[in-house]
Amino acid sequence: MENTGIAEAGQLVWLTNVLKATLDTNPGIRVAAEDALKNASIHPGYGVALAKVTVILLKQYVKHHWQAGEKDFLPPEASAQDKALIRGLLPQALEDPHGKIRTAVGMAIATIANSDWPEEWPDLMNYLLGFISDRSDINRVHGALRCLALFAGDLDDTLLPPLVPVLFPALHQIVAQPTMYDASLRRRALIVLHSCISTLGVMSGAYKTETRALMAPMLKSWLQQFALILSPPVPSEDPDDWSLRTEVLKSLQQIVTNFANIATTEFPVVLGPLWQTFVSGYKVYDSACINADEESFGGLADSDGSDQSLEAFTIQLFEFLLTAVGSPRFRKIVQNMEDLVYYTIGYMQMTEEQEQTWSADPNQYVADEDDVTFSCRLSGILLLEELVETFEDKALQAIVDAVQKRIVEAAQAKAADGIVLQLREAAILAVGTVAGSLFEAQSGGKMSFRLEPFLDSIRNEDLGQGIDQCSFLRGRALWAAAKFAPAMNKARSEQFFYAAVMGLASDVPPPIKIGACRALAELFPNVDPSVLQPHLSLVFASLGALLQEASDETLHLVLETLQAAVRANGQASAAAESTISPLVLNVWAKHVSDPFISIDALEILEAIKEVPGCLEPLAALVLPVLATIFANTSQQPVGMIAGALDLLTMLLKKAPKELVRRAHDVTFIPVLNIVLRSDDNSELQNATESLSAFVREGGEDLLSWGGDANRSLHMLLDAAGRLLNPELESSSALFVGGFVTALILNMSSNMAPHFSQLITALLARMRGSEMIALKTSILLVIARLVHMSAPNVGQFVDVVANLPVDYDALEYLMSEWTKLQGDIPGSYQMKVSTTAIALLLDCCHPQLARIRVQGHLLTNSSGVVTRSRSKVAPIQYSTMLLPAKLLSLLADALLEIQEQQTATARDEDDDWDEIDEDEDEPKATRSLPVPGSEQSVFKALDDMQHLLHDDIEDGDYQEDPVAATDPLNQINLSTHLRNFMKQFLAKDPVTSERLFQELNPRQKSAVQAAIA
């Protein structure tokens, strides 16, 4: 055994196995293990290794056998006697001179503390605080801090407050003495501090006065200490210093976030040192990361796994600045904004490592450009955006001025020694980041920035040089063209368009192709068709070539660009369809299991489908492929069946009936069989959507296409029956609501005899599921049936009340509906449900009046509801009569509409003040002013055209294709509810007043405002 080797992980495993072997029942194995230990014991390091193994085994024992019910518990549970003995021995092991032993002991103590402290281990904190304050033994300080760092984040609002007055001064004593305690100890003390301040910040929402009282006496001394740490210039190649500053910045961030109101007075002491850190840090970052002249310690981590690199420190610095700028109380610390932006642009330069990585891996370049990977560069972008959000035109002018200054510097550097890439590229990145805000400010005459000369300089200087020079800068110039495309005139758009087309050439470096793709996607709408069309054949050919060589992130970008090209010019797209469609279909098939790539490919095929003259050739290409896939479902790779169903649904959407029938002939029965036989969630979901599309687009004609209309209807009902079977997994039936809705809307005469059975199955599916999305989709089917029953809504109530089931179906339905109304997604869906509730309330059926449902939330007088309190006293609600609940739901809908309409800019409050929503409400009981009109608000759906239209959101079309043509979606819900309230409340003033008094104050206000 070598002197140092025994401490290695592999030899620790060996020693552990040998120790276990000494307990083996086989005498030969036991003797061999004892001999091995005897031989190992004569080598140096054996004792340390044995101690480490012992502690590791103890840590594992505590993890698995300490507390029954914990995540990793394995029986048996340690006895009370053993637990007491272990608790007595462990703290002393924290002073072991070996760091790994201290860490293992600390982890064991933290695990035990989570269940035993303070009740079973009241002396633990005294031990730890005593060790922290013991200057005679640095190992004790190390061990105690390591232990505290492990469970400080688990201290709650009961345990932490008594510790703060003792713990914070002890931590300060360590941080304030760099000559006695090294950087790692001081950093660990700051880690504990940060955890505690974070917990206090969370507590401040409920215990504002108490937490401020705890923090206020400590802030001045801590801020002064932070200033001392941040004051010296950031040193080169010193990860210990960077890590210490990082923890300071984390604590400052928590103070700014949660204790801004009590920190503003003392905070100026930190401002100068913060700026010194920011400026001097840039010099180190420029040398180490951007130019790679010094070591940046990328990937370096301490024993806790914390990143100690220069990049990590710089990112944390920007995190703090983002928090400060976003804080209403602290944003005033930004004095010289141009300097802040100037240095930020410097930090945003490409690093040497990034340039090497991106040159070798274009996918990583695209991913980083799309903000997938967090970096200093992205941090700078986020800070610029936050500055503009906070300071608006002032920030924009500072960015413009700083960009111009950096561009001049880049030009001077180029003239001196040819260096131009990084600084100019970062300057263009900075101004492009805020392009949208610049447009608005410039159009309002608030900016001195002249966009046209800036764009001309990009075109001439960055796009006019050889393609082999400065490929990242050239790519950035094309990216800028994409950002500024909305503000370009036709002539300038065409110039950048030509440059972007040339950027797709086969011999062009990847960064330029990437920039060209981004530019083209944005420039297409700005270029005249006469200019666009002659070049699109080259664009399609280039993008087609890229499709065959791109992968991952770059493939996603190419597909996005191709979709924009298809939509840009129908004539050119039709000419290229025979080339594009097979390539895209091949990409779809190859990446069918990748949700992002396959969706991109489907969207291109959908765009091609919408080009005049392309639907038939596309269908001729796709349908045989689908027929082949569905004919051999068991032989298909993972994801292919579900993907093929998506492709089919896309093809059917808004397709002419002749095409729907052709699709029916080769795919309808296979799709039905998938619904009836498959157990795959994705296949069942997508097959359900395909069936919905068949029913929507084929209508009742669909039933006769198979030859026997009754057989076709029963097959559809069988499919619905399986999806509504409570034994089927809920997620598999997620889209059954849309399918059943399609059936009752498009085949109503055929479905009418089955409505009673259908409602029974719908309710059974609801009762057997806990998935809210499924339940709400079924409620929308019920709501649709309510609308179809109008004006005889009472008949619908009778049907539900008399269903042949062993529970009160009407009570169950209304109880679930009233609880889940707020969970119904989408403005269209909410209209369907809300207007159905109004219909039910208006019918005044006595069966509804007998039902009591969940009412208002009962206020908990004991303060914040913690997990332990919720077990003792669960959240409780009152009960109320169903008509009153229905009225309250309509009042809630009115309230939401009124708040949206009257929303105005409000002063921001960063103190997270608790606001009593009812504090402005008059305390006296309100009465209802009864309007005089008794005219019914409900008319046939065909008569709803007179109502004002609400804007129809695109998302509603995607979530529910019925929305585009449904007369219900033409209702202006605000007008509809106001009219309903006036007429319903006037119909029976006595009952109306009784129902009104059951509303809460805010609901009463909403109703009064509606009928005023």
Sign of the Cα torsion 159, 165, 170, 172 reads positive
Sorted by sequence, the CB contacts under 8 Å of residue 119 that are 6+ apart come out as: none
* CA dist., res. 315 & res. 92, Å (int): 39
- The radius of gyration of the chain from alpha carbons, rounded to an integer in Å, stands at 35
Listed as ranges, residues in the chain with pLDDT below 70 are 1-12, 15, 22-23, 46-52, 55, 303-304, 372, 418-420, 465-469, 859-874, 903-959
Nearest to 142 by CA among 176, 108, 174: 174
Sign of the Cα torsion 131, 134, 135, 139 reads negative
Nearest to 591 by CA among 626, 552, 549, 543: 552
One-letter amino acid for residue 8 of the chain: E
Nearest to 957 by CA among 768, 706, 738: 738
For residue 5, what are the CA distances in angstroms to 34, 41, 296, 867? Answer: 20, 13, 30, 48
* CA dist., res. 885 & res. 124, Å (int): 53
Model pLDDT, residue 9: 58
Q: 41: which 2 tokens?
A: 């014991």
Contacts 24+ apart (CB under 8 A), 128-134: 128/91, 129/166, 129/167, 129/170, 131/91, 131/94, 131/95, 132/170, 132/171, 132/174, 133/170, 133/173
Nearest to 619 by CA among 652, 597, 570: 652
For residue 988, what are the CA distances in angstroms to 144, 991, 1007? Answer: 73, 6, 16
Nearest to 101 by CA among 109, 240, 175: 109
Model pLDDT, residue 73: 83
Sorted by sequence, the CB contacts under 8 Å of residue 1012 that are 6+ apart come out as: 929
Percent of the chain with pLDDT over 90: 64
* Residue 752 near residue 791 (C-beta atoms within 8 A): no
Residue 138 CB neighbours (<10 A): 15
- Which residue matches tokens 């061999």? 32
Q: 605: which 2 tokens?
A: 């095929």
DSSP secondary structure of 755-795: HHHHHHHHHHHHHT---HHHHHHHHHHHHHHHHHHTT-HHH
Residue 546 CB neighbours (<10 A): 22
* Residue 380 near residue 348 (C-beta atoms within 8 A): yes
Q: 56: which 2 tokens?
A: 């590791």
Residue 146 CB neighbours (<10 A): 25
Angle at 878 between CA 874 and CA 880, to 5 degrees: 150
Q: Say which DSSP state 856 is in.
A: E
Please count the CA atoms within 13 angstroms of the CA of 755 that sit on its side-chain side.
Answer: 23
* Residue 879 near residue 853 (C-beta atoms within 8 A): yes
* CA dist., res. 547 & res. 555, Å (int): 6
Nearest 5°: phi and psi at 301?
A: -135, 150
- Going through 221-372 in order, the beta strands assigned E by DSSP cover none
Nearest 5°: phi and psi at 579?
A: -90, -45
* CA dist., res. 173 & res. 221, Å (int): 11
* CA dist., res. 609 & res. 745, Å (int): 26
